[in-house]
Structure 1
Amino acid sequence: MIGTIISALVVGLIIGALARLVMPGKQDIGILMTIGLGALGSLIGSWATYQLGYHNANGGWEIIPFVVGIAVAAGLIAVYLAVRGRSHHVTH
């Protein structure tokens, strides 16, 4: 159980970091949010890929769900930054 949690956090960090790398500009986002959004992007990306009929017939590393997870995580980070940016720019 603890190994699964640690693995999910490591994958989340990798996916989140790669998502931030492919995004233009500098993102003001902490490591915990990067891990969380990376893990969520990975889960959503993998789920969506398999729902669309992906099957890893050759075995080995499943690159398509990984790449889709990066794209989804980048989208989640962009949405997070947009929502957070709006809340920081509210004038009183």
Structure 2
Amino acid sequence: MEISGIISAIVIGAVIGLLGRLVVPGRQHVGVLATVLVGIVAAFVGALIGQALGLYDTKGVAWLVWVIQIGLAALGIVALERMKARD
């Protein structure tokens, strides 16, 4: 992967992570770095799910893939929040 691909993955992951964080109600005590990392993982996994389901076969933006990615990021934020609450 080239440096531009890595930078793109980080930027898209950050956006997905922040959108996922906005979906979760209340205040989260998860740091920015953790939010970005959750977003990157959610973007990658969501893209794999979208590809497996054939959701990229569209003439425009694959909005359903974005919804899946944001949902996965929200689940990741909630999981991190619960793990921090146990400590």
TM-score, normalising length: structure 1: 0.85
Q: 1:4 to 1:51 in 2, by over 3 A?
A: same
**Structure 2: distance between partners of 1:38 and 1:57:** 24
SS at match of 2:61: coil
Aligned length: 86
- Counterpart residue identity of residue 15, structure 1: I
Match in the other structure for 2:80: 80
Asked if the contact 2:20–2:70 (Cα under 8 Å) also holds between the matched residues in 1, the reply is yes
Q: Quick one: distance in 1 between partners of 2:75 and 2:9?
A: 19
Corresponding residue number in structure 2 for 1:23: 24
Separation in 1 of the partners of 2:56 and 2:13? 22
Once the two structures are superposed, residues 14-73 of structure 1 have per-residue CA deviations (whole angstroms, 9 ceiling, x without a partner) of: 001101111100011111111100010111112112223324232x32211111100001
CA distance in 2, matches of 1:43, 1:28: 24
Cα distance in structure 2, aligned partners of 1:84 and 1:14: 23
Structure possessing the higher radius of gyration over alpha carbons:
1
